[in-house]
Amino acid sequence: MECNYQLENGCLTIGMPKELDHHCASQLRAEADLLISSYAVQELVFDFSGTEFMDSSGIGVLIGRCRNMNYNGGTVQAKNLSERIQKLFIVSGLHKMIRINDREEE
């Protein structure tokens, strides 16, 4: 799995893997939950810059992390979504739960 995690000033950025499927979903779920609870994360950012595929397991991971952050008063956003991932966000309803950051990285 190719996830990377960056923690800075209460903001956890997760660089999502190339393929977010059932093979890596449980590991990502466990690692993200551990970091969120251990470091009192208030902002969670999913970076999809390298993601080409996501299945229902990946969608479940995102929904679960979003709910956890909402319970703790935190925020969740996603950035660098490809056209394919954007379509998945819309079809699954994730766009209603997670703010999509469309700005280009400087």
Predicted confidence (pLDDT) per residue in 78-99, tens digit: 999 999 999 999 999 999 999 9
The CATH number linked to 49 is 3.30.750.24
Query: How high is the pLDDT of residue 19?
Result: 94
Structural domain tally of the chain?
A: 1
Residue 9's pLDDT band (cuts 50, 70, 90): very high
Question: Quick one: average pLDDT of 2-17?
Answer: 94
Would 96 be classed as within a structural domain? yes
Would 22 be classed as within a structural domain? yes
**Model pTM score:** 0.92
Parent domain of 54: 4-101
Would 28 be classed as within a structural domain? yes
Would 106 be classed as within a structural domain? no
Would 40 be classed as within a structural domain? yes
Would 18 be classed as within a structural domain? yes
**Cβ neighbour number for residue 34 with a 10 Å cutoff:** 10
Query: How high is the pLDDT of residue 106?
Result: 40
Residue 16's pLDDT band (cuts 50, 70, 90): very high
Would 23 be classed as within a structural domain? yes
